[in-house]
Amino acid sequence: MPIQPERLFQLTASLVNIYSPTGKELEASDFLEGYLKQSGLPVKVQEVEKDRRNVLVIPEGDSFPLCLNGHIDTIAASDYESYELYEEGDELFGLGTSDMKGGCAAMAEAFTAYFEDTGNLPNAALALVVGEEETGDGTAALLEDYRFSWAVIGEPTELLPCFEHYGYIEANLHTRGKRMHASLASREVNAVHAMLGALLKLTDYLSAEKGDIIFNIRDVSSTRSGFVVPDYCESWLDLHIPPHYPAGNVIFDVEEFIRKIFPKEQMDDILNFTTLRSGYSLPEKGPYVELLKSAYGRLGRPWRTSRFPSDSDAIIFWENGIKPVILGPGSLEKAHRDDESVNRNQLTEAAHLYYELLKALDT
Q: What burial class does residue 275 get, using C-beta atoms within 10 Å of its C-beta: 0-12 exposed, 13-18 middle, 19+ buried? A: middle
At residue 233, the pLDDT reads 92
At residue 7, the pLDDT reads 98
Indicate the pTM of the whole model: 0.90
At residue 268, the pLDDT reads 53
> What is the chain's pLDDT, residue by residue, as a tens digit (363 residues)?
699 999 999 999 999 999 999 999 999 999 999 999 999 999 999 999 999 999 999 988 777 899 999 999 999 999 888 899 999 999 999 999 999 999 999 999 999 999 999 999 999 999 999 999 999 999 999 999 999 999 999 999 999 999 999 999 999 998 888 888 888 877 667 888 889 988 999 999 999 998 899 999 999 999 887 888 888 899 999 999 999 888 889 999 998 898 888 765 454 568 889 888 899 999 999 999 999 999 999 999 999 999 999 999 999 999 999 999 999 999 999 999 999 999 999 999 999 999 999 999 987
Indicate the SS3 state at residue 190: coil
At residue 1, the pLDDT reads 67
Neighbouring CB atoms inside 10 A of 355's CB total 25
Q: Which fold has domain 5-165+280-360?
A: Aminopeptidase (3.40.630)
At residue 267, the pLDDT reads 45
Q: How many helices (H) and strands (E) does the chain have?
A: 9, 18
At residue 52, the pLDDT reads 97
At residue 66, the pLDDT reads 95
φ/ψ of 239, rounded to 5, equals -125, 115
Q: Which of 55, 30, 32 is nearest to 44 (CA)?
A: 55
Is the separation of the CB atoms in 157 and 306 below 8 Å? yes
Domain extents in the chain? 5-165+280-360, 167-277
Q: Which fold has domain 167-277?
A: Alpha-Beta Plaits (3.30.70)
At residue 342, the pLDDT reads 98
